[in-house]
Amino acid sequence: MPSRISFVVATKDRPEELARLWRSLVAQTRPPDEVVVVDAGARPAPPAGPRPPRPVLRHVPSPVASATRQRNLGLDAIGPDIDLVGFVDDDAVLEPAAVAEMLRFFDEFGPELGGAAFNMLNHPPLGLAGLKRTPLAEALGLYARRRGAVTASGFQTMLGRVEATAWAEWLPTGASVWRREIFGGHRFDEWYSGYSYLEDLDFSYRVGRVYRLAVAASAGYRHLPADGGRGGAYVFGLREVLNRVHFVGKHVELSPARCRAALAARLLMSLGLAVRRGDASFLARAFGNAVGLARSIIVPE
């Protein structure tokens, strides 16, 4: 019997982006069987646009604006006959054959494949790639030259756009599909609140220790970022540290000392960018990093 697939979309006050995503799902050569929209907006409303028989639309208001909480609520709302569960951000657009290609990908690789990411066709260039991919950074376990790796410091390397199937130790969850059975033992950690920075690393790394993870090259999508999300530079700098330390603290094979060393390097990079570009936001981000590092030592995870 063909697999049945549902997509969970966490959204908040982005009606235009949500409608655009909905149109791309409806227009698939093989539409999803179901879409669950978990809406934390001030005035929750289902996406505008056509209402074909498939996908079935479920609209779930959420009292909490948090990607992790909203995704978990979405998991509780999917239909009982669903085999595969996708997550897609409201500011994404899937290529017309993306769902069909993803279903074919899961059929090809079988039950060992726990999760697969769609291939981001407009992936931005990696920032500070020369510094991050040096032999010294790799030797110290701070970063790696290999795509989709998670280093001893708890830092992950980006996957970028791929030309062939790429196996990975983690996956971004903004456009991804997972076997439903994994959610019996793995949910999103709601400690990551609000913007939920690194919730995808936390979730997918846990799954990847049990199942194989990959990027499906033929299942393309585009990310068209909406304004906002991260908050101010200081707040993001603080999250950048505390969320990473929280992730590393959950896994004995990762190193808190190397994590803090890598975060200190991140702080210095921000200071350097503040000077070179004359951009005060990098100074605020570095200050957030410094406060986060101090807090993580005084009140460790």
pLDDT, one tens digit per residue, over 138-155 is 766 667 888 999 999 999
**Can you tell me the distance from the alpha carbon of 266 to that of 152, in angstroms, rounded to the nearest whole number?**
16
- What confidence score (pLDDT) does residue 300 get? 61
Angle at 32 between CA 29 and CA 38, to 5 degrees: 140
Q: What is the pLDDT of residues 101-151, one digit of tens each?
A: 999 999 999 999 999 999 999 998 866 656 666 776 676 666 788 899 999
What is the C-alpha separation between 267 and 254, in angstroms, rounded? 20
Q: What is the CA radius of gyration of the chain?
A: 19
| Cβ neighbour number for residue 4 with a 10 Å cutoff | 16
pLDDT at 228: 63
Residues 6 or more apart whose Cβ sits within 8 Å of residue 191? 68, 246
CB atoms within 10 A of CB 239: 23
Mean pLDDT of all residues belonging to the chain: 93
Residue type, 75: L
- Residue 194 has what pLDDT? 81
**In a 3-state reduction of DSSP, which class is residue 223?**
strand
Report the distance separating Cα 286 and Cα 210, nearest Å: 36
Residue spans of beta strands (DSSP E) within 47-139:
56-61, 84-88, 92-94, 113-120
